[in-house]
Structure 1
Amino acid sequence: MKKYLYIFCTLTGAALMGCTDLDLIPEDTMAPENYFSSEEELRLWTNSYYGMLPGADDLNDICADDVIKNILDNEILGNRTPGTEKAWDWEDLRVINTYFQWCKNCDDVNARNHYDGFSHFMRAYFYFTKVQRYGDVPYYDEVIGSKDNELLYKPRDSRKYVMQKVMEDLDQAIFMLPETKTPYEVNKWTALALKSRAALFEGTFRKYHNLGDWEEMLKQSAAASLELIQKGGFSLYKTGSTPYRDLFARLDAPAEEIILGRRYSTELSVLHNSQCNSMTGNQRVSFTKRFVDHYLMADGSRYTDKPGHEKNEFVAEVTGRDPRLSQTILTPGYVQKGTTKEMINTLSKFTLTGYQYIKYVMEPQYDQSNKSPMYFPLFRLAEVYLNYAEAKAELGTLTQDDLDISVNLLRDRAGMGDAHIDMDEANANPDPYLMADVTGYPNVTKSAMTGVILEIRRERTVELCLEGFRLFDMIRWKEGKQLTNEYHGVYFPGEGKYDLNGDGKMETAIYKDQAPSGLGLTKYKLGVDFFLTNDTEGYMWPHKDVKRTWNEERDYLWPIPTDERSLNHSLTQNPGWEDGLSY
């Protein structure tokens, strides 16, 4: 049943069982012709849009090269098929376009401007996410009925056309939406943030996938970002001694940095699993060594430049690093909020790699499944800083001043002192680790800006982890092959006893055949509890026998569902996907 009928029936209390013809409004409910006539009715209708936005459980456990879990996602396993693709769904768009069809019923111009702007924002968001997934998609800006055969069975429009419509919707939203800031309602600044994000994605996707016409999109991303930075009145959250950790370990969204957050509530039983995923081993969501190696030393020097870094044991590996590392993963000295006892790395109990995340972790009462009421960030100032710097760098127009008003402020907030990105130094000496085929971004633009582009990618990787960006970042940078590299974790030089919290006491032991003796030891049997890359020495090695594939000619787009192509013969399939249909 069409979602707009559901909303009407819900708003008026009518039963859905009376709806028999999907293109007719039931006689016992309110028709659109006499709805949408007041500000309250516009508000009620558009409130449903918030449910179209993703939530914590949709975003913060997506697998990529930085985060893995006990069962890898289909994108990494190579298990996507046209017959099982489920995201080709247009109900949300019908709800939005229904608003545009009938909002003229309201004579309140101020109300219309507000909710028209919100609807333009949501249609832009809807189509941006469709283009991210499928590339070309059919574009509709009106409600389609069952008799509109020409429109129902139209072919896909080009991604360039659709993204131009996305930009037009966002410009309308920016013009119409109020400037009043609240972290839980879409406003002008949210629309600017989405334009910053969407134009960056499309510009870099076109650039790295050789589609042409990429410069204008990056210019639009940079302009939207700069307007928000200069006029939005936002600032980075800096409260307390560990502001990055605390930003993600509180109930309410801090309005200074969060442009739009998703609200959760214990009272309303609207909760999520982010804390459970860390503190109970649910899905065993884990960071990879590739991710941990992105963190600099606290003084700004490169960890991966240090001789012998590859074989540093856990305590040495995490000591003296960018403070965000200890505010993101469990490291020596970590004490969970609401407790007083230091937690020790438990290796394979909660993780696959020994790198257990603490981002989004609050007090222990929220540890269990579907118990966390913490808000979830959807748009925040830090992302806009990163978008701005990246867009300018890819355009070749980045300056040191641009860095100083954007990503260098993130390093300041982290407490890294004078460890700013120096553009000239970065470009003169690009990080070989981040350029390498296995550990880095081998497809990065080779230009005078290569070094600083890599440094911005480092900052993005570190700052935005577990917020739903990484998979699509790797897609737009054309780095999908990196998802199939081996996933590694903490390094162990051999069997024996280990001190994983730096207090001088051996509390952990790993062995292959004979368990070592000793009181208070947590013991792990190699080949049973976890594997090492060289049998009894090396990195923790999860998913060592799991086949992972990435088809460079196919996998940057998802397949069009077979049943949709069976219904609409005008829909072409994305390159490389076979669905058995000859048209």
Structure 2
Amino acid sequence: MLTYKRKLEMKKYINYLFILNIFWISACDDEFMDKYPQTSIAPEAFFKSEQDLRLYVNGLLTLPGMFQYQVDQNSDNLATTGAVEIKNIMTGSPSSQNITVGWNWGRLRNINYFLENSRQADATVEVIEHYEGIARYYRAIFYANMVKRYSDVPWYDQLLSPSDEDLYKGRDTRESVVDGIMEDLEYASEHVTTDVPNGTPGNWAVKVFYARFALYEGTFRKYHEELSLQNTADTYLGKASEIAKVIMDSGKFSVYNTGNPENDYKTLFNSQELAGNGEVILFNAYDANKDRSSDVNTGVFGTYEQSPARDLVQSYLMADGSSFTDKAGYEKFSFVEEFQDRDPRLYQTLVYPGWVRVPESSAYIPILNRNFSGYYQHKGYSNTTDNLDLGGLDFPVYRYAEVLLTYAEAKAELGTLTQADLDASVNLLRNRVEMPALMLNEANAQPDPFMMAKYPMVSGAMAGVLLEIRRERRVELAVEGYRFDDLMRYGAGKLLENIPEGMYFSGLGKFDLTGDGVPDVLLVDKGTDIPEDDNKEVNELGKLLIYYKTGTIDDNVTVYLENGEDGGTMVTETSPRDFIEPKYYYRPIPIQQIALNPNLEQIFGWE
């Protein structure tokens, strides 16, 4: 949690930074890299001490928070009624004229301003290098996001004046920009210390992102022929496994496991205090008592924009380690059937039959609604009515689980993965929930057809185990905001063409949604008038059945089914999606920026 002293320091710095930013940031004009004006606070008046360095760098702090649980609306993990970018792109007419967000350099300007002036402070070399390392870590994150969005972008590692020729230069190559990112991360990993306040990045957090980006870039290069960089992929995959192994060998972190497989995983996402949790390398602390609330329950749980997709449900293994999609007739399993004997992480991520919502005492009956899947997420949801608890959940920014998955995936991509590697990584995560261990030879001998169909580019002797590691990553990191980036680096954008589906219903009639064998809802045809409560049917428990009018998406009904009254999966939308490769792995530079700087050219077919 933020201390009172630190909050005062932050307030002082924010006021200072606000004064500077009046002059610094002119979001989309041609002076975005200007030197600081003479009327602002000159750097020699501020960068005098270690405290000044700390205040400035603390002012640059940005951490993913509770809304990260909603980022997967961009992926195949969730259905959404929201106007998310990738859905709009696939169903519309995208161009540089209507995709105008993302090309913002103000944050880079602030980072480079610090790096240019930090050396003049009266502090030890170690202190200066620590804060420079944090700033370069932030610059690496900034550029990593730019590369993921645009690929080739101008690289600026110093401040510019209006007369500098580089102010209007064109794109630098992806290779050169990524070299700069890796140099920044290497410097930060060598100079940032481990002794930092809770909620701020230290050396281990830097290393987690270092490994994450190296894995991203290595796999992106491997699976994207349009870059012609496949021959350099292994360099980044090797670095990813190397840095992940350093973290693993440090002995500083461990998978959170108290021997309670039904709750340990869930605890990471509904905790009021993650400080001291051996799995959490960096967290974002929330406290409703300090006007910093984490309450996003209305976004995560319910029928507001997002709902989990059936494809995610089907990705979880059975409790015995076999594939759910190997079961005969799985495509027509009911809600209750598909939650039976599954990987416990499914129950700890999504609402399951029999789940009880506080303050109720009986099982929750999922509310069915138009354009929603019927599934509900409770990972990151605080099942309480206590307002302080609602606002006090900490968010795990970096988990040791990600490091283990990075290590296993990088080794598998390199073709050097061993059973010992799996036992030291993926199988620690499976052990937490008492799932059978992933066996290297068995996975490679019989790759899962369900997974092979998703990722046809995966091949070679390690194909089977690599597919299982990808499944493990999707399951372990579900709805934490990783899935879209994963699909992009896998070259699996075509999966986003599949419109998310919801629960399966065989047709009209009564259905049990709580798992007690007693019907809870009644689906009626679109021409039926839903009766008043006095005339509704009552189930064996003496409770009124919940009625829903059923039809297709064009009908004036409550529940959309694939085949209307004849049943099928719940329909979330019907607009055809088209993911154009390789174009849609990238975004155009907004047309306004091209007008300001004609040296910037569109690539990959964007106009």
> What is the TM-score normalised by the length of structure 2?
0.87
Q: 2: CA distance between counterparts of 1:15 and 1:147? A: 21
Offset from partner CA, 1:461-517 (integer Å, 9 cap, x none): 111111111111111111111101132111111211111111122111112133584
Q: Is the 8 A contact 1:435 1:442 kept in 2?
A: yes
Q: 2: CA distance between counterparts of 1:20 and 1:483? A: 36
Cα deviation, residue 16, structure 1: 7.8
Matches within 5 A, 1:106-255: 106-109=121-124, 110-148=126-164, 150-180=165-195, 183-210=198-225, 211-212=229-230, 213-231=232-250, 233-239=252-258, 240=260, 241-254=262-275, 255=277
Greater shift in the superposed pair: 175-184 or 192-201 = 175-184
Instruction: Name the structure 2 match of 1:427.
Output: 444
Cα deviation, residue 263, structure 1: 2.3
Instruction: Name the structure 2 match of 1:581.
Output: none
Gapped regions of structure 2 (runs ≥ 5): 1-10, 539-543, 552-556
- Distance 1:537-1:401 versus aligned 2 partners, 3 A rule: farther
Offset from partner CA, 1:65-116 (integer Å, 9 cap, x none): 1112112522123244312321111111111111111001113123212211
Q: Is the 8 A contact 2:50 2:122 kept in 1?
A: no
Offset from partner CA, 1:530-564 (integer Å, 9 cap, x none): 21112224433334322322111310001111111
Cα deviation, residue 380, structure 1: 0.9
Cα deviation, residue 413, structure 1: 0.9
Q: Is the 8 A contact 2:253 2:278 kept in 1?
A: yes
Offset from partner CA, 1:10-33 (integer Å, 9 cap, x none): 228869879999856566753112
Cα deviation, residue 164, structure 1: 1.3
Name the amino acid aligned to 1:192. K
Instruction: Name the structure 1 match of 2:6.
Output: none
Q: Is the 8 A contact 1:393 1:453 kept in 2?
A: yes
- Root-mean-square deviation (CA, aligned residues, Å) is 2.6
Q: 2: CA distance between counterparts of 1:260 and 1:139? A: 28
Q: 2: CA distance between counterparts of 1:30 and 1:534? A: 67
Matches within 5 A, 1:29-428: 30-51=41-62, 53-58=63-68, 60-63=70-73, 64-78=75-89, 79=92, 80-83=94-97, 84-109=99-124, 110-148=126-164, 150-180=165-195, 183-210=198-225, 211-212=229-230, 213-231=232-250, 233-239=252-258, 240=260, 241-254=262-275, 255-272=277-294, 274-283=296-305, 285-336=306-357, 339=359, 341-349=361-369, 352-365=372-385, 372-416=391-435, 419-428=436-445
Q: 2: CA distance between counterparts of 1:367 and 1:280? A: 18
Q: Is the 8 A contact 1:34 1:105 kept in 2?
A: no
Q: Is the 8 A contact 2:78 2:500 kept in 1?
A: no
Cα deviation, residue 422, structure 1: 0.5
Q: Is the 8 A contact 2:371 2:560 kept in 1?
A: no
2:428 aligns to what SS in structure 1? helix
Q: 2: CA distance between counterparts of 1:7 and 1:142? A: 26
Name the amino acid aligned to 2:456. P
Q: Is the 8 A contact 1:249 1:374 kept in 2?
A: yes
2:378 aligns to what SS in structure 1? coil
Offset from partner CA, 1:369-395 (integer Å, 9 cap, x none): x96432222211111111111111111
Q: Is the 8 A contact 1:354 1:540 kept in 2?
A: no
Q: 1: CA distance between counterparts of 2:295 and 2:95? A: 28
Q: Is the 8 A contact 2:23 2:40 kept in 1?
A: no
Q: 2: CA distance between counterparts of 1:82 and 1:525? A: 42
Q: 2: CA distance between counterparts of 1:59 and 1:363? A: 16
- Distance 1:24-1:567 versus aligned 2 partners, 3 A rule: closer
Query: Do structure 1's residue 11 and structure 2's residue 16 form an aligned pair?
Result: yes
Q: Is the 8 A contact 1:354 1:490 kept in 2?
A: yes
- Distance 1:132-1:14 versus aligned 2 partners, 3 A rule: closer
Gapped regions of structure 1 (runs ≥ 5): 1-5, 579-583
Greater shift in the superposed pair: 171-180 or 370-379 = 370-379
1:250 aligns to what SS in structure 2? coil
Instruction: Name the structure 1 match of 2:515.
Output: 502
Name the amino acid aligned to 1:422. M
Q: 2: CA distance between counterparts of 1:494 and 1:475? A: 37
Q: Is the 8 A contact 1:82 1:562 kept in 2?
A: yes
Offset from partner CA, 1:204-240 (integer Å, 9 cap, x none): 0000002321010000000011101111511112245
- Distance 1:125-1:61 versus aligned 2 partners, 3 A rule: closer
Query: Do structure 1's residue 533 and structure 2's residue 562 form an aligned pair?
Result: yes
Instruction: Name the structure 1 match of 2:501.
Output: 488
- Distance 1:50-1:19 versus aligned 2 partners, 3 A rule: closer
Cα deviation, residue 452, structure 1: 0.6
Offset from partner CA, 1:324-376 (integer Å, 9 cap, x none): 0110111123234x6462442324259811110000111433789x9643222
Name the amino acid aligned to 2:51. E
Greater shift in the superposed pair: 294-303 or 22-31 = 22-31
Instruction: Name the structure 1 match of 2:471.
Output: 458
Cα deviation, residue 411, structure 1: 0.6
1:497 aligns to what SS in structure 2? strand
- Distance 1:61-1:18 versus aligned 2 partners, 3 A rule: closer
Q: Is the 8 A contact 1:389 1:402 kept in 2?
A: yes
2:169 aligns to what SS in structure 1? coil
- Distance 1:435-1:16 versus aligned 2 partners, 3 A rule: closer
- Distance 1:26-1:158 versus aligned 2 partners, 3 A rule: closer
- Distance 1:115-1:566 versus aligned 2 partners, 3 A rule: same
Offset from partner CA, 1:171-225 (integer Å, 9 cap, x none): 1111111123765121111111011110100000000002321010000000011
- Distance 1:48-1:343 versus aligned 2 partners, 3 A rule: farther
1:57 aligns to what SS in structure 2? helix
Q: 1: CA distance between counterparts of 2:431 and 2:360? A: 28
Name the amino acid aligned to 1:154. K
Q: 2: CA distance between counterparts of 1:312 and 1:20? A: 55
Cα deviation, residue 146, structure 1: 2.1
Query: Do structure 1's residue 442 and structure 2's residue 436 form an aligned pair?
Result: no
Greater shift in the superposed pair: 36-45 or 250-259 = 250-259
Q: 1: CA distance between counterparts of 2:22 and 2:76? A: 47
Name the amino acid aligned to 1:458. R
- Distance 1:311-1:25 versus aligned 2 partners, 3 A rule: closer
